Amino acid sequence: MPNMEQRHTSQSSLLLPHSPKNPLLIKMASGLPLRHPAQGFNASQQLIKSDRGSMLTMSDDNVMMKQIVGTHAPDGREVDVKPLLLLVEDILKRATLQIDSSLTTSQAHAEMEDKTYHVNFVSMLDALSYTIDRISSEIAYKALGGTDAHATTVSLFNMLTSYSWDAKLVLTLAAFALNYGEFWLLAQISSSNQLAKSMAILRQLPSIMEQSGPLKPRFDAINNLIKVTMDLARCVVEFKNLPPAYISNEVPALSTAMAHIPTAVYWTMRSVVACAAQITSLTTMGHEFSISTTDAWELSTLAHKLSNILDHLRKQLDTCYQYIDEKRNVESFQMLKNLFEMIHIDNMKVLKALIYAKDDIQPLIDGSSKKRVHLDVLRRKNVLLLISGLDMSTDELSILEQIYNESRHHGSRLDSQYEVVWVPIVDRSVQWSDPMKEKFESMQSSMPWFTVYHPSLIEKAVMRFIKEVWHFRNKPILVVLDPQGKVVCPNALHMMWIWGSNAFPFTSLREESLWKDETWRLELLVDGIDPVILNWIKEGKYIFLYGGDDVEWVRKFTNAARAVAQAARIPLEMVYVGKSSKREKIQRVIATITVEKLSYVWQDLTMIWFFWTRLESMLYSKIQLGKLDDHDPMMQEIKKLLSYGREGGWAVLSNGSNVVVNGHRTTVLQTLLEYDLWKEQVPVKGFDLAFRDHQGRIHDISRPCCRFDFPMTTGRIPETMKCPECNQTMEKFSTFLCCHDEVIPDELFK
């Protein structure tokens, strides 16, 4: 019969996979002599001192890590440690609650996810339970025996040689969670469960709880180390679960991280050993053991070291996620491009790719009911995607809503065949703020059509596609998809501004057809804006449409025009339509015209905005169609009017529907002031031709310059343009203008 010392020698490596977790029972099962608390105290002090010495003297981490890496010989087995780590985290967080009431478990851990109890996980746990028990016993045994932390950690690596780095770490944490969780479970239920009470007494828990005040610094140090240990473990597991289809070790961030993973795993496991040693010492010595300042410093030093490692790995992890995100975006972007080149039986694949691919939520808000709906409501319909940021003006929304409602009131033909969907584009690099949320919700609530539930549903790849392929900058566009999801017009907003619902089905073919039927007439400029002018046209009156921001010129022009009309005995009406910019200045001109009764004027600035928007849309529509023909007389007149409008003053004279003159402010006013020079021609040529001929002679002498400004936010900008006045190729400049109307220097427009 071997004596006690022989038993200790022969069974020092005995590991009982199903032995009780109480260190005292482990010590008895392993044949260790039962020590007096003082002996245990000395052994624990020896452990901590030797551990501290090893930390301070082992300066060459490379030598140490070579030893650790030398133990690593994975056999290829794959262990999904995520559910096990989740279980460990739940145990440690619930245990930690007993020490630090400020910590709270998340809902995910308060109600353990069902997947941790999935049959595959239970099966995996059966296969790993023996290893977890071995680790638990090894840690406890080495702690009681006074082995230093580094040696204990190396022994764990030797036990786990065939596992991957993340599995080594999580299995060690699971082993620690068994002992740590059992310790605090007894503390929790000992007051209500007699069995737990008896076991708690055996583990000296009552006396420990009585000393909870003095022991608090010790538990705080342990808790802090456990927290950073779990953070680092999650980070290591995240690296293991990076998708290999999108990233490999050839990526510098990943290769750098993988080179540091063994070091991270070593120091994390060593920290687990240090925490376990503290708990083991506490249960064997009870309140007789009190942590010293030096010991607390040691735990905090480990926590600090792990924090530094964690910071470094997180930076690499963030870089890896950015790389993966970019790769996925490139892939998604190419898939989108390919998708629009394919033929589909309906539009659902396209709409899901653009708005939201899954079926787990309802991604749209119905503008009429304000309820959430699925994409199915758009199946096999013409879909108009209104794409904009959160800065879409109230003027744009107001006019678009008016056109939309009119189309709904004109019977079921249009109503049943097309739907509008607002797709909000918000820069992901800008933090979503309360003002942005309020602006979005305000815009969404005001729209009568469908809207995307939230901007975050629009993926980065989709935003890239919208910007690069559909040429969206910041100005709203209206992309038209037919019932099969094919793009039939890259931006129907232009034709909608010009022709309203008459442009249905809003295809590029329809746009070309409408232009073929269009002529240079006054209705083209004012249709759908003011019925008063349409009545003047029907009555065959002469009409001066004029604009600008110079009050003195307005006075001279209107007075001269009225005098000529009286002298020539023609029925003349005048309407002031402002300017495309400088709203504050235009309001003052409107006020002057109204007070002095100079002419008829549009009081509503939205009407003025719509007039100029329609005019610009005519130019953009032609650019989009590739029909910006420098020999097209109608487009030449439109370009001249846009240029005159930017210069600051102009007038269009029509006789009923027929446009007589489209002139710069200088030539038109001079023609009126020189009426005596051409009045003799009126009876001979007629007023129209006499006016045009004299204005033409003045124009040939002065020949005012033309200018066009295309904001960079405009999707399509022509490479070259010819001047509508002299037909010469115009020079291209880059101009910077302040967004505030009132501070734009007038010199820029002269």
pLDDT recorded at residue 435: 92
Mean pLDDT is highest, among 372-376, 426-430, 693-697, for 372-376
pLDDT recorded at residue 110: 42
> Given a cut of 60, is residue 330 above it in pLDDT?
yes
Task: Please tell me what DSSP assigns to residue 251.
Answer: S
Query: Residue 148: which pLDDT band, with cuts at 50, 70 and 90?
Result: confident
pLDDT recorded at residue 279: 78
**Percent of the chain topping pLDDT 90:** 47
Judge contact between 71 and 155, C-beta under 8 A: no
- Alpha carbon 447 to chain centroid distance? 22
> Given a cut of 70, is residue 356 above it in pLDDT?
yes
Query: Residue 303: which pLDDT band, with cuts at 50, 70 and 90?
Result: very high
pLDDT recorded at residue 186: 74
Query: Residue 141: which pLDDT band, with cuts at 50, 70 and 90?
Result: confident
pLDDT recorded at residue 27: 32
Dihedral of alpha carbons 72, 77, 78, 79, sign: negative
Q: What digits encode the pLDDT tens for the residues 205-251? A: 665 555 566 667 777 888 899 999 999 999 999 999 999 999 999 99
3-class state of residue 478 by DSSP: strand
Higher pLDDT pick, 52 / 680:
680
Query: Residue 25: which pLDDT band, with cuts at 50, 70 and 90?
Result: very low
> Given a cut of 70, is residue 421 above it in pLDDT?
yes
Q: How many helices (H) and strands (E) does the chain have?
A: 31, 12
Question: Beta-carbon neighbour count of residue 553 at 10 Å?
Answer: 17
Q: What mean pLDDT comes out for the span 609-636?
A: 84
Name the token pair of 519: 């002529």
Edge-to-edge strand ranges of the sheet holding 364-365 = 372-373, 364-365, 450-452, 418-424, 382-388, 477-481, 487-489
Q: What is the rounded distance in angstroms from the CA atom of residue 45 to the CA atom of residue 239? A: 37
Q: What mean pLDDT comes out for the span 536-542?
A: 94
Q: At what angle do helices 165-189 and 252-285 cross, to 10 degrees?
A: 30
Cβ within 8 Å of residue 663, ≥6 positions away:
644, 650, 651, 652, 653, 671, 695, 699
Torsion of CA 189, 141, 87, 71, to 10 degrees: 170
- Report the chain's mean pLDDT, rounded to a whole number: 80
Judge contact between 327 and 254, C-beta under 8 A: no
Q: What is the rounded distance in angstroms from the CA atom of residue 419 to the CA atom of residue 506? A: 12
pLDDT recorded at residue 46: 39
Name the token pair of 468: 């690069």
Cβ within 8 Å of residue 15, ≥6 positions away:
133, 134, 137, 138
Q: What digits encode the pLDDT tens for the residues 77-121? A: 888 888 889 888 888 887 765 444 333 444 444 444 554 456 566
Q: What digits encode the pLDDT tens for the residues 443-455? A: 999 999 999 999 9
Q: What is the rounded distance in angstroms from the CA atom of residue 101 to the CA atom of residue 93? A: 11
**Cα three-residue angle 248-252-253, rounded to 5 degrees:** 90
Place of tokens 């890239």: 464
Higher pLDDT pick, 175 / 737:
175
Q: What digits encode the pLDDT tens for the residues 625-662? A: 887 666 788 888 888 888 887 766 899 999 999 999 99
Edge-to-edge strand ranges of the sheet holding 658-664 = 600-601, 572-576, 542-548, 649-655, 658-664
pLDDT recorded at residue 49: 43
Lowest model confidence (mean pLDDT) among 54-63, 100-109, 391-400, 721-730: 100-109
Q: 235: closest CA among 112, 85, 75, 83?
A: 85
Q: What mean pLDDT comes out for the span 160-186?
A: 87
Which neighbouring-strand residues pair with 372?
365
